[in-house]
Structure 1
Amino acid sequence: MATKERTRPRVVVIGGSIGGLNAALWLQDAGCDTVVFERAQAPLEDRGAGIVLHPATIRYLLTHERPDIQQLAAAAHWIRFLDPSGEIAHQEPCRYQFTAYNVLYRTLLRHFDLARYHLGQECTGFEQVGDQVFVSFASGRREHCDLLVCADGINSLGRRTLLSEVQPQYAGYVAWRGTVAEQDLPPDVFAVIHEAITYSVMSDSHILVYPIPDGEGNVEPGYRLMNWLWYRNVPEGEDLDDLLTTRTGERFGTSVPPGFVQERHLRKLRADAQHLPPVFTTLIERTATPFLQVIMDLETPRMAFGRVCLIGDAAFTARPHVAAGSAKAAEDGWTLAEAIRDCGGNIDAALARWEPAQLALGQQVVARAREAGTRLQNNQWDTGTPLPFGLYAVGDNVFGDTLA
């Protein structure tokens, strides 16, 4: 008697950003019939700015095309701390690599079948019936799958549906962000920061800058962008609400994108920047459209719910100080695909195998990022203390180390 052929598990991924793309690529390789639905109407250009690369973030690329990292990222050879006058208070060698969201997103997307990457599809709900999940979209579209992967970020519909009591918690500060073309910097400023990740830590805030590829992916020194972040304490309540209210009167929740910040807030930002080390003053003055991101903590007690799972920021959102957000999302997707492969396509067995380790990883990343942020924002960070960058452990994002 002929053995019935096992059908390929059908997987729907909600969210087409870096975490969702990584998951879709690995699940596809694991033998799943995988489709991605992204609510944005157009490809995700100009989302955020810089990303500190971790081998896990580009594991798919390292496995499939062995890219020249120097063509994908800008390197930093020094960690520098500046004192209030702008003099170098401490420096030491490093081997960090920095890329831009656009560069990484476009590179990953090239590996995925665009016929399976659906834009303009906002998920509005889902229900589980037996071993199937039925997914609804604002367009009226309905999909069914054996597994629904919610890679839909900090405001995840999946998490809000499954764990309505779990909400992002404000950390007490925001990150002002921006980029400046290296060509627009005075030679003395460029000389201090172009080959380094440069910090200045103050009594109630800290600021940093590092190089990233420009919008076309150019990584040649002198033609890249300088990506800066200034973390500033803002009381919750009226002050934060006012900061998140746009020029048109709309209140945003977790960020205010370039071009939407009220002009009076930009004027204050530039005025306050006069008290920074001079290189940072220049960077902020020459940034046309600074934007801001609210710093949040988020952690869930579960990631798997029947045939639905949460990955990336939908499950755990860590403060940026450990440079592991994109890496954590990518690792969730890779380990999920490996579990499905190891379990022969058995979704239930795979989720049971996958969830415990990813919960533990998410918990330790959030805790380490919270501890670093608290110290950095409260004048408890000693100049020269090793940066807390890393996914599983501090320092594991240096390229050349084993990926296993």
Structure 2
Amino acid sequence: MSDYANSHAIVVGGSIGGLTAALLLRDLGFTVDVYERTPTALDGRGSGIVLQPDTVRWFTERSTQNLADLSTSTSAVQYLTPEGDVEYREECTWTYTSWGTFYRALLADFGTERYHYGEYACGFGEDEDGVTVRFVSGRRETADLVVFADGVTSVARQRFDPESGLHYSGYVGWRGTVALRDLDAATREVLQDAITYQVIPNSHITMYPIPGERSLDIEDRLMNYVWYRNVPAGPDLTEMLIDKRGFAGSVSVHPGQVQDRYVDEMKQTAAERLAPAIANVIQATETPYLQVVSDSRSARMAMGRVALIGDAACAARPHAAAGTAKAAADGWALAAALSEAGGDVAAALVKWEPAQLQMSDALLRRVVAMGERSQFTNTWTPGDPDLRFGLYGPGK
């Protein structure tokens, strides 16, 4: 009989990291409830995920679903000049999925019976009977273990570390997707089998093809990109983050809500400064959106029988393509510690925390250095192996 057969776990946050943790805890014997703040199924806005070993481990080791049915791949990394010539190319295979495809696959494995939408966890307390999570609806639920996987705006992070707020990087990411079928043949030929970069003074862009939200067919694939552009902190940024409804954003402005003048300027600059194929993708994007690139890291990830994982614990810039991998790695390491703890949740968390803090610190230092090279010191060199994706280090 499992050490946790009579134990209850709550996971706050039902995204990719939260679902991975929930599945692993259930496999240990916990009865697991997931509470997600959004009232309906999550929407990844079409964003892409570069798949790394920790991200896909659930599907390679535990799931009956075939990873090949969830992902596509490219065979090269390339850098283009403003004229569109290839200035660097390296044969290198990476695999991708769309956020929505991966989320739905994890949710299919977890099921919806204990997945609760529209429940915003706003606090917690712990006593000898367990950890009680408080919700804005007035609901209160008690469990033997609580895992906060509620993302970059985590309500729990301040309880763990009052100094761990978001620190703005000095730049934003313009994101978007375009169906490959909507691009001309010449653009598809340049881009469809590679991760493509372009570096310009104080900026860079990366793009790669991902599966469509509902199909792996090549005609349904999407070209996904993020273009990093400097915006100084202060009134310029504040004004940019006011959406069309007059609401002020703090971490993003959603598709269709970015003020038209900013979209127009972005597309015009793309036409003037970016390689023709890259500019074509941006010009064809109907509803680009904005991500505020910020960093945060809690000095703690364990507190009694409460754990903080993924972006809730450490939100790192996307340059290493490691956000979902880190959340999954936190979950796998937590499950391993619990498995070895003989039912002692608090002892497991004490054992689990140091290595995860170290991993977060190393990742954050690396992506900050990458961003500085791209956006401020102009030392991002095409082909530099230090700039490769990876959770544990470049290419790792």
Q: TM-score, normalised by structure 1?
A: 0.94
Letter in 2 for 1:222: E
Of all paired residues, the percent bearing the same amino acid is 45
Contact 1:319 1:366 in 2 (8 A): yes
SS at match of 2:105: helix
Letter in 1 for 2:209: P
What does residue 107 of structure 1 align with?
105
**Structure 2 runs not aligned, ≥5 long:** none
- Report the more deviating stretch, 157-166 or 136-145: 157-166
What does residue 392 of structure 1 align with?
392
Distance 2:393 2:269 in 1: 35
SS at match of 1:272: helix
Distance 1:267 1:47 in 2: 20
Say if 1:102 and 1:243 are closer, same or farther in 2 by CA, change over 3 A. Answer: same
What does residue 271 of structure 1 align with?
268
What does residue 382 of structure 1 align with?
381
- The alpha carbon displacement at 1:7 in A equals 5.5
- What CA RMSD, in Å, does the superposition of the two structures yield over aligned residues? 1.4
Letter in 1 for 2:388: P
SS at match of 2:337: helix
Structure with higher RCO (Cα < 8 A, 6+ apart): 1
Give the alignment of 1:184-223 within 5 angstroms.
Answer: 184-216=182-214, 218-223=215-220
- The alpha carbon displacement at 1:10 in A equals 1.3
Distance 2:202 2:282 in 1: 18
What does residue 358 of structure 2 align with?
360
Runs of 4+ in 1 over 6 A off after TM superposition: none
- The alpha carbon displacement at 1:299 in A equals 1.1
Deviation per CA, 1:27-81, whole angstroms, max 9, x where unpaired? Answer: 1111112110001111112346011001101211111236544321121101010
Q: How many residues were matched structurally?
A: 391
What does residue 320 of structure 2 align with?
322
Deviation per CA, 1:234-253, whole angstroms, max 9, x where unpaired? Answer: 00001110110101111000
Q: 1:37 aligns with which of 27, 35, 38?
A: 35
Q: 2:249 aligns with which of 252, 261, 278?
A: 252
Give the alignment of 1:131-170 within 5 angstroms.
Answer: 131-170=129-168
Distance 1:377 1:354 in 2: 35
SS at match of 2:395: coil
Letter in 2 for 1:96: W
Contact 1:372 1:388 in 2 (8 A): no
Contact 1:135 1:143 in 2 (8 A): yes
What does residue 230 of structure 1 align with?
227
Contact 1:30 1:338 in 2 (8 A): no
Give the alignment of 1:284-295 within 5 angstroms.
Answer: 284-295=282-293
Distance 1:373 1:242 in 2: 23
Contact 2:121 2:134 in 1 (8 A): yes
Give the alignment of 1:79-118 within 5 angstroms.
Answer: 79-118=77-116
Deviation per CA, 1:160-204, whole angstroms, max 9, x where unpaired? Answer: 233222101001100000000000001110000000000000111
- The alpha carbon displacement at 1:6 in A equals 7.1
Letter in 1 for 2:17: G
Q: TM-score, normalised by structure 2?
A: 0.96
- The alpha carbon displacement at 1:385 in A equals 1.3
- Report the more deviating stretch, 13-22 or 164-173: 164-173
Contact 2:56 2:67 in 1 (8 A): no
SS at match of 1:84: coil
Letter in 2 for 1:248: R
Distance 1:157 1:43 in 2: 21
Letter in 2 for 1:220: D
SS at match of 1:56: helix
What does residue 311 of structure 1 align with?
309
Distance 1:84 1:40 in 2: 41
Distance 2:131 2:218 in 1: 49
**Structure 1 runs not aligned, ≥5 long:** 397-404
Deviation per CA, 1:247-296, whole angstroms, max 9, x where unpaired? Answer: 11110000011011011111111111112111121111100000010111
Contact 1:194 1:221 in 2 (8 A): no
What does residue 300 of structure 1 align with?
298
